[in-house]
Amino acid sequence: MMMNLLKKFMVGRYGADQLSIFLLIVSMIITLISRITGSSILMTISYIPLILTGYRMLSKDLKKRSMENYKFAIFVSPIYSKFKKVQYRIKDFKTHKYYRCAKCKTTLRVPRGKGKILITCTRCKDKFTRET
Residues 68 and 100 in one domain: no
pLDDT for the residue 76: 95
Instruction: Identify whether 91 is part of a domain.
Output: no
Say how many domains are in the chain. 2
Spatial contact of 96 and 132, defined as CB atoms under 8 Å apart: no
Residues 47 and 101 in one domain: no
Residues 63 and 119 in one domain: no
The vertex-25 CA angle with 21 and 28, nearest 5°, equals: 140
Give the pTM: 0.68
Is residue 15 over pLDDT 90?
Answer: no
Percent of the chain with pLDDT over 90: 70
pLDDT for the residue 30: 97
Mean pLDDT of 31-44: 96
pLDDT for the residue 82: 92
pLDDT for the residue 67: 97
